[in-house]
Amino acid sequence: MKLHGRSVLVTGAGGFIGSHLVERLVECGCQVRGLVRYNSRSDYGLLEDIPQGHKEKVAVIAGDLRDAGAVRKAVAGVDMIFHLGSLIAIPYSYIHPEEVIETNVMGTLNVMLAAKEHGVSKVVHTSTSEVYGTALYVPIDEKHPLQGQSPYSASKIGADKIVESFHGSFELPVTTIRPFNTYGPRQSARAVIPTIITQALTQPAVHLGAVTPTRDFTYVSDIVEAFIRIAECDDVIGRTFNVGSSLEISIGGLAGRIMGLLGKEIEVVQHDDRLRPEKSEVQRLWADNTLAQRTFGWRPSVSLEEGLQRTIAWVSAHLDRYKIGTYGI
């Protein structure tokens, strides 16, 4: 299934990964429609950052995933859906679990219902490595048990199961992509890599939460390439695929790596207000990406060092966007 000329909808188009995916889909020759969450400023989020020539080719629709009518209108007439829209901040989910669950579970239900109603040819649904919780074994393959260690991860488990059920019940052509930690240009300081970089560039110390947990980081262009390959592959319907680098690094080790690239030696200070509740902290994530390699030939091409260098360069040029030193949830 080639993408050129196809009409596609990207939910969460104004987000970090969503904006990069929209940019790539335009380059693939797609007719792109982007659903962004409405605000009174007519601000399209990170879509504002894509090249003007790309932006002019995107039909932007403002709405809310929780509004079934708005979702049906956004879906009408498209051939394929990339469903990335969700509330993703784990600390925010501790404070506002109802909003997170409504958006991520009911929002996904609305997308599935609209896709079924309009006969969409493929839906690529976005999961998260957080659904695995602390690894029971490593590397983590797609058969690993799902563990809801935060309201956010529970909401994504619920969304994944809604998608699974629509394939089983209605033969809806769906595929779930499960990215591990993604990073790169445009990412907010809610994520750990921009948090470390912005503080290391401007502050006498870097303030973090837990530094011993490990994560598997993949550069955003590689994640986007996985979306593209899934969309073009016929042998993915009804299946779930891990997308990660298959390398793990501790948060403390990551901070040290960034300091080295910056040529700085800065103290890392652990703050209690940045810590997750003990039983909610995911201690270890490490992707097994074998299934993605075998099925659609995907593997990351950007090393951690190269990706960090690119991200440092972008963040350095856009420091005015960040509220440095403020803990953003």
Estimate to the nearest angstrom the gap between the alpha carbon of 315 and the chain centroid: 19
**Dihedral sign for Cα atoms in the order 77, 50, 29, 225:** negative
Using CA atoms of 228, 234, 240, 245 in order, give the dihedral in degrees to the nearest 10: -40
One-letter identity of residue 92 = Y
Q: Which of 195, 316, 37, 64 is nearest to 46 (CA)?
A: 37
> How much of the chain is in helix, strand and coil states, percent to nearest 5?
45, 20, 40
Q: Tally the residues of the chain.
A: 329
Do 148 and 183 touch, CB atoms closer than 8 A?
no
Annotated catalytic residue within 38, 92, 132, 152: 152
Could you give the 3-state DSSP secondary structure of residue 297? coil
Q: Between 16-27 and 220-232, two packed helices, what is the crossing angle to 10 degrees? A: 50
Other Cβ atoms less than 10 A from the Cβ of 95: the count is 11
Active site (annotated) includes residue 92: no
Catalytic sites, residue numbers: 152
